[in-house]
Amino acid sequence: MADRPLAVTASALRPPQGFAARLDVPRRVTLLAAGLVVLLVGLLLAFIGWNGIQIFTATGASLTDIIAPVWSPSATPARFGILPFILGTLGVMVVAAIIAAPLSIGLAVFMAEVAPPWARSITRPAMEVFVGIPSVVYGFLGLTILVPFLRESFRGIGFTLGFSWFAGSLVLALMILPTIASIAYDALLTIPAELRSASLALGTTRWQTIRHILLPAARTGLLTGMMRAAGEALAVQMVIGNRPTIPTSLTAPMTTLTSQITLDMGNTVSGEPWNQVLWTMGLVLLLMSFTFVVIVRALGRRGSGS
């Protein structure tokens, strides 16, 4: 007798009930693990938030004292203005995104729409290798190659030290380029082929299809790459000059939130104002990252709706 296919009844598709539900161990373990992750994230956010506001509650400092242009923690009286670090972080991120965005999104479009299979089989693994390179390697290459090159080749236009805003942005752009390209490439692959075919059938050119259908799907990759850029410290710290002043030009040394935190964390004692303001800088950096997450999710929902 030939084997008959098993019939799937409606009762088999219903979730376990009664005693069977109480014995549904995998489901309970999964829920427990998910709840534990949520709890850990909540505790982490609460810990950073609580320490980040201690500079205001313990010392009586005002917001204008912290969002100030002068950083001089060892002076008398000490001044803890973190405005140079906020502007430095945003400045490095923006310039790095301006450099990396056209190259990375162009690479993603090339791999998804233009490249033959043999070229795609080479570029995709190479891109993944670049994503896995440690940041200290990028920083060391920038320190030994980029900074001397800028100092010797462009001294006449202001690169007297080589350590500069532009050097930090260039190293950061090289770091986030494969991340943006990889995310944009994955976003392009999720677009149904029917949309491309329908667009071409309506008489549009290949560039018009890329411009109006494909590129909007890749925009979230740019902001995701910028989120990684916001938290990068070591590579940028090695080439940016680490001068706590408000940046005035691309050729001037400067510093960022993450760089200053790593530089000063070993020089402070827990509970003193200098240490408390470092926690405030970490809280500011966390809020910046949350802002980018909200923007990415909003763009994703907007793209799904359109």
In this predicted model, what pLDDT tens digit does every residue of 2-61 receive, in sequence order?
455 555 555 555 655 555 555 567 788 888 999 999 999 999 999 999 999 999 988 888
The strand ranges marked E within the chain are: 71-72, 79-80
Cα separation, 173 vs 229, whole angstroms:
8
Residue 70: is its pLDDT beyond 70? yes
Q: Which of 192-196, 254-258, 278-282 has the lowest mean pLDDT?
A: 192-196
Asked whether the bond before 84 is cis by omega within 30 degrees of 0, the reply is: no
Whether the Cβ atoms of residue 231 and residue 285 lie closer than 8 Å to each other: yes
Cα separation, 55 vs 61, whole angstroms:
6
**pLDDT tens track for 94-114:** 898 889 888 888 888 888 888
Q: What is the chain's mean pLDDT, rounded?
A: 83
Q: Please compute the mean of the pLDDT values over residues 54-70 and round it to a whole number.
A: 88
Angle made by CA atoms 161, 103, 139, in degrees to the nearest 5: 35
Task: Categorize the per-residue pLDDT at 231 as very low, low, confident or very high, splitting at 50, 70 and 90.
Answer: low
> 254 - beta bridge partners?
241
DSSP reduced 3-state for 241: strand
Cα separation, 225 vs 234, whole angstroms:
17
Check residue 302 and give its pLDDT. Answer: 66
Q: Please compute the mean of the pLDDT values over residues 240-262 and round it to a whole number.
A: 89
Whether the Cβ atoms of residue 178 and residue 169 lie closer than 8 Å to each other: no
Whether the Cβ atoms of residue 115 and residue 152 lie closer than 8 Å to each other: no
Q: Please compute the mean of the pLDDT values over residues 174-192 and round it to a whole number.
A: 83
Percent of the chain surpassing pLDDT 90: 22
Report pTM. 0.81
Cα separation, 99 vs 117, whole angstroms:
27
Residue 305: is its pLDDT beyond 60? no
Check residue 35 and give its pLDDT. Answer: 94
Cα separation, 61 vs 254, whole angstroms:
25
